[in-house]
A = this chain, B = another copy of it.
Amino acid sequence: MRVPKGDDRSRRVCDTCGFIDYVNPRIVAGSVVTRDDRVLLCKRAIEPRKGFWTLPAGFMEQSETVEDAARREAQEEACADIRLDQILAIYSVPRISQVQVMFRARLASSIAAGPESEEVGLFHWKDIPWSELAFPTVVWALTHYAQTRFLSGFPPFTNPPGTERLTR
């Protein structure tokens, strides 16, 4: 561990070859996917938060766009073909060095549980299992989505005020 020349913070550096192991936050891409008035949720088949409900979302991979990643995750987790509408929100979770880019999207196919989901479903607002949602950002994205239901263009949301204790 040392501060590379011209840098201002400590990194893992190889004394033999000079390789600097930069570690940077990871991007999660996901979507609030709707059909008519129902929202797509996936019951997690894997840890963390196995058995809890989440939005189709996951880590972005090399050589894809953030839009590609959101579409791929919907396909992988819910066998869902989706049409992205616009960016709903960008949340930062500095405690775990994560940035979540959430889209608003429309469902364009049938759905089925992928390998990482125990079950998938389309939920009317009143039927959303609020007490069984996997992560705070799922709650944020759903409530932010609700505020945009009748809007066709809007600035993206960010972390809600007063939620620092959840993310720092």
Instruction: Enumerate the 8 nearest inter-chain pairs by beta-carbon distance, A residue then B residue, closest first.
Output: A65-B92, A62-B97, A153-B155, A86-B155, A24-B26, A63-B94, A66-B92, A25-B60
- A159 and B154 CA atoms in complex are apart in Å by 18
Q: Is A39 an interface residue (CB 8 A)?
A: no
Q: Which residues of A contact B (CB under 8 A)?
A: 6, 9, 22-27, 46, 59-68, 86-87, 90, 92, 94-95, 97, 99, 101, 115, 153-156, 158-159, 167
Q: How many copies, total? A: 2
Contact A158 B26 (CB under 8 A): no
18 pairs from A and B in contact (CB 8 Å cutoff): A6-B46, A24-B59, A24-B60, A24-B62, A25-B27, A25-B60, A65-B92, A65-B94, A65-B167, A66-B90, A68-B94, A86-B155, A87-B90, A87-B156, A90-B90, A90-B101, A153-B155, A155-B156
